[in-house]
Amino acid sequence: MTSSTTPPASVPEKIRHYINGEFVDSIDGEEFDVLNPVTNEPYIKAASGRKADIEAAVASAKAAFDEGPWPTMLPRERARILNRIADIVESRKDELAAMESFDSGLPITQAKGQAARAAENFRFFADLIVAQVDDAFKVPGRQANYVNRKPIGVAGLITPWNTPFMLESWKLGPAIATGNTVVLKPAEFTPLSASLWPGIFEEAGLPQGVFNMVNGFGEEGFAGDSLVKHPDVPLISFTGESKTGQTIFANAAPWLKGLSMELGGKSPAVVFADADLDAAVNATIFGVFSLNGERCTAGSRILVEESIYDEFVERYAAQAKRVKVGLPSEESTEVAALVHPEHYEKVMSYVEIGKTEARLVAGGGRPEGFETGNFIEPTVFADVKPDARIFQEEIFGPVVAITPFSSDEEALELANDTKYGLAAYIWTSDLKRAHNFSQAVESGMVWLNSNNVRDLRTPFGGVKASGLGHEGGYRSIDFYTEQQSVHINLGEVHNPVFGKQ
Ligand code: NAD
């Protein structure tokens, strides 16, 4: 037995909801099995929430918002609690990463990196609200105006299963930093690490009712859907598939809710012949195989200039074959197990489709020695045509499509030729080309000669089917606050008088 088959010691007996400061079961007692991705055996039960559970959680969050003290506390006081949260997350980083890796199949070293990032998210938003400056505008002698930022109310946070804890922190940090109260609906495939939030928040001194969590499914009648349709939840921050985003958009429409949507991607990595080839190969390997390829910003389409195409494909395939597939718990593992058998089947079906559409140059099957669980070899297809499904559709696994191009114009056309627009990566030593390409590429984010590293101050979001709105830095503060303009008469404002006589 290894630690990838035995749950970490701190795994609770059962995963419950957390409402108004208490762990509770579903009102109807419903539960579901959570699977270990290495064996696909159920290892724990989780409460499956529905409308009644969401109603209880929203009532708790609304009372905490209406009755305070959280929304009216000084930013400095809230920041102190956020910093404590960051300290606790940091101090429990190893335990947290072990749970995350066990539950999601992420390699342990990468799960540790995600845990550190989660702590950083709280610290960052603590700093930001203390340093927050509100706009003020003056018309000399006539009028002064200032912007009154206010928390909005109960924020509904709906998250996916890839890097679950980090993505939850990415929403929880700014939502509570700005004085809102929240109901979190974690992804049903990976509810384990979220079960740590209540203890962390209680220890940090977050007032009761500010954080609530309902586990379970997203579809109609279940927890996610009920949260979106609850009239007392004016804000929904969602990360997940583009198709789910469309459903949520429609379901939130009757209330005109505030929506932030971080959705799917099929991001291009464009490698020109003048690029530093070593750096480009290393970065594009990491870009699609890290996090098991379950990364929204994965550079899953690599476009390579014709003159270096054969050399690139050869080097890329050779390096992909050396990527270490292993158990999630092993420090040397680079790619581990996909999250769930349903997702595994989906990724494998794309591998089979790819074999009929393009040239397989690495991987394409189950790795030797891993007869059970959701393991897949890092898989590389070359000569992929733009109308191929593996070029157009998000696979969300360790599978990459490589396509040649012969001019800058063709590279741009190919880069923009999908419905998505999340990220783009450009590799060239020609700065002018790099900047011009960034201007023209249809993506929310561009990395030039760079791996996917992100400064927390920068806006994060996608265009086209990859998202709606931005979070990150001040954009998160904007999303989670109302901006009320206050106009002050300084004595000489033009005031037309109607009906004087
Ligand atoms: P998903 O859309 O299936 O589920 C995401 C969450 O939405 C889950 O908690 C689910 O229960 C819930 N949900 C499902 N249907 C719902 C409904 N009708 N109403 C309310 N909630 C509902 O996505 P997933 O499979 O968990 O995650 C993978 C996807 O997430 C990929 O497409 C990936 O690109 C995307 N993603 C995007 C980003 C980003 O920042 N752009 C980051 C991470 C993941």
- Which CA distances in Å does 264 have to 37, 246, 471? 22, 12, 15
327 Cα to the center of ligand 1, angstroms: 25
Q: Is 225 in the pocket of ligand 1 (CB under 6 A)?
A: yes
| pTM of structure | 0.97
Q: Is 37 in the pocket of ligand 1 (CB under 6 A)?
A: no
- The candidate with the shortest Cα–Cα distance to 398, out of 381, 416, 422, is 381
pLDDT at 491 over 90: no
Ligand 1 pocket: which of 296, 297, 301 to mutate (most atoms <8 Å of CB)? 296
Helix (H) or strand (E) holding 63: helix 51-67
CB within 8 Å of 391: residues ≥ 6 apart: 266, 301, 384, 385, 401, 403, 417, 418
pLDDT tens, residue by residue, 106-155: 999 999 999 999 999 999 999 999 999 999 999 988 899 999 999 999 99
Taking the CA of residue 189 as reference, the ligand 1 atom at the shortest distance is 26
For range 175-179, the mean pLDDT: 98
Q: Is 217 in the pocket of ligand 1 (CB under 6 A)?
A: yes
State the catalytic residues. Answer: 262, 296
pLDDT tens, residue by residue, 228-256: 999 999 999 999 999 999 999 999 999 99
Q: Is 161 in the pocket of ligand 1 (CB under 6 A)?
A: yes
241 Cα to the center of ligand 1, angstroms: 4
Rounded CA-CA distance 4/71 in Å is 42
CB within 8 Å of 358: residues ≥ 6 apart: 381, 382, 383, 384, 385, 388, 390, 401
Domain ranges of the chain: 17-263+462-485, 268-448
For range 399-406, the mean pLDDT: 98
Instruction: Let me know: does 214 contact 54? Beta carbons within 8 Å.
Output: yes
Rounded CA-CA distance 60/22 in Å is 11
* Residue 467 identity: G
Q: Which residues pair with 302 in a beta bridge?
A: 269, 402
What pLDDT does 28 receive? 98
What pLDDT does 364 receive? 98
Do 268-448 and 17-263+462-485 have the same topology in CATH? no
- Which protein residue has the closest C-alpha to ligand 1 atom 9? 187
Cβ-based neighbour number of residue 184 at 10 Å? 25
pLDDT tens, residue by residue, 363-396: 999 999 999 999 999 999 999 999 999 999 999 9
Confidence of residue 1 (pLDDT cuts 50, 70, 90): very low
Q: Which residues pair with 457 in a beta bridge?
A: none
DSSP state of 70: G
Rounded CA-CA distance 188/45 in Å is 11
254 Cα to the center of ligand 1, angstroms: 21
pLDDT at 425 over 60: yes
62 Cα to the center of ligand 1, angstroms: 25
Rounded CA-CA distance 408/128 in Å is 40
Choosing among 1.10.40.60, 3.40.309.10, 3.40.80.10, 3.40.50.620, the CATH entry for 268-448 is 3.40.309.10
pLDDT tens, residue by residue, 2-61: 478 899 988 999 999 999 999 999 999 999 999 999 999 999 999 999 999 999 999 999
Q: Is 156 in the pocket of ligand 1 (CB under 6 A)?
A: no
Instruction: Let me know: does 316 contact 302? Beta carbons within 8 Å.
Output: yes
Taking the CA of residue 217 as reference, the ligand 1 atom at the shortest distance is 11
Ligand 1 pocket: which of 103, 114, 158 to mutate (most atoms <8 Å of CB)? 158
- Which protein residue has the closest C-alpha to ligand 1 atom 26? 160
* CATH code that applies to domain 17-263+462-485: 3.40.605.10
Taking the CA of residue 467 as reference, the ligand 1 atom at the shortest distance is 41
165 Cα to the center of ligand 1, angstroms: 14
Q: Is 239 in the pocket of ligand 1 (CB under 6 A)?
A: yes
pLDDT at 101 over 60: yes
Q: What percent of the chain has pLDDT over 70?
A: 99
Q: Is 285 in the pocket of ligand 1 (CB under 6 A)?
A: no
pLDDT at 185 over 50: yes
CA angle 275, 382, 345 (to 5 degrees): 120
228 Cα to the center of ligand 1, angstroms: 13
Q: Is 107 in the pocket of ligand 1 (CB under 6 A)?
A: no
239 Cα to the center of ligand 1, angstroms: 5
What pLDDT does 10 receive? 85
Instruction: Let me know: does 399 contact 351? Beta carbons within 8 Å.
Output: yes
Q: Is 339 in the pocket of ligand 1 (CB under 6 A)?
A: no
Q: Is 67 in the pocket of ligand 1 (CB under 6 A)?
A: no
Rounded CA-CA distance 67/207 in Å is 11
